[in-house]
Structure 1
Amino acid sequence: MSTSKPKSETGETAPTIQTVERAAVVLGSFTVAKPYLSLNELTASLGTSKATAHRYTKALRAAHLLRYDERTALYSLGPQVLTLAASARAGLPIVAAAEPYMESLLHEVDETVVLSVWDGETATVVRSVDNTDHIIRIGVRSGARLDLTDSAQGRVFCSFLPPDQVPGLKSILRRAPELAAEFENIRELGLSLNSPDINGVRTIAAPIFEGGTIVASMAIVGTAVTVSADVDSPMARALLRTTRELSEGLGGS
């Protein structure tokens, strides 16, 4: 009688597949809203015994995919997840497509140029080029999640995404109804401009389309002195021209 273990279509044994699936469940249990979870919560997510859940958390900690805080007895995602996320972002087709356009725009305006994508909740930076000629450069960290309504890039996505794809948008508009007019203005201009706050940074952002759907936002980031608030400034026109050329190359509109 054969004692071989059942295999999947890919030839992997069932226990191996289950191990991977369970590890994915553990990692997928963490969200922006709940970045810290207890062993009890992870056990509930897995639907296993606490001992089994503990074995998975121990293995994931050894791989630096989980952290454990002994003081709070809570788990969080580990540093290796950041490395994997950076690799995933670098592999996005839009990053490769946008990079030459970003470099060209940087040389034209001599300001930091940033590319952001929608992560399901807000705009997330996936690429930033800041090799300007300024003595002091403004750097924007890849992986940074931008404020949904305060950032120029966040407002671009609020303006061009279908409303049901922006979590909490209806509530936001109820609390700040003036944003509806702002989003309409962004759709008309094709540009979003934030006002400098206490740090004096000003950002102009524009959408990038593929097949009529927004896939990213490109932004120029500088100081209130070097980046004009005029939406018809040479810098704003350069950004619009660049994003439209990139969108045309992607088959956008």
Structure 2
Amino acid sequence: MRKAYRIQLCLTAALLAGCLAGCGGSEKTSAPVKEEAQIAAETPTATPKPTATITPTPMPEPVKYQTEDKKMILYLPDKSWENVSDQDGIRLFESEGKGNITILHGTKEELEDFIIPDSEKAVGQFYKENGIGKRDYEVQKYVNNSIGDVGIYRYTVRFEEAAGFEYVYSVNYVVTAGSEIFSVSGTVQQDDVALLEQITNAVESLQICETDATAAEQTEDGHEESNEKDGGTSEDFQENPQFVEP
């Protein structure tokens, strides 16, 4: 009996020692967790840097130009554009380092060499007659918005660098009304999208206040008469955005 009692005491002591050892081990492993939590609490949270607000560059204010005969209005890109020539129905504006804008007005008889760009093929014919080959340019945009007897044509050409021209783009807007031709063209000297947009907006801002046909319809007392030949009055022209009241 004493031998069995001693064995039981030994087993009890061994179990107690194991429990104490296990508790001691858990204390040792819990200490690093407390230290890590303390370090995390003491580490300051990084403050996010404020995002810089980019203010867009404002577009320059267009400058209104009206021809002396009060027939046309055009909005030039900004004040840097100067009228350097005004003769024989041709008005030329230039801005150093940017390009030029030309306004051409006349009858089809007066401008007999003018090729009306009523198709992309006609555009190619114009350049061909001016000694410019197909490899020297690319028609990037062509739009025909003609309405009835009024022709409205827009096209943009980009010239190849190898062609050696002084300009990169040519923007064109042509309106034909009866026997008259109204043409605005602009050249862009830089490969600059913003500058191209400015000159395009200027070229296409053309407003025609009066044509020979609408002037003929005016009576001495200022009333308009219907023209049976073309079946309309100046009000018909005013429906198109390029025609405005004087």
TM-score (norm 1): 0.31
Please identify which structure carries the higher helix content. 1
Please identify which structure carries the higher strand content. 2
TM-score (norm 2): 0.32
Bigger Rg, which one:
2
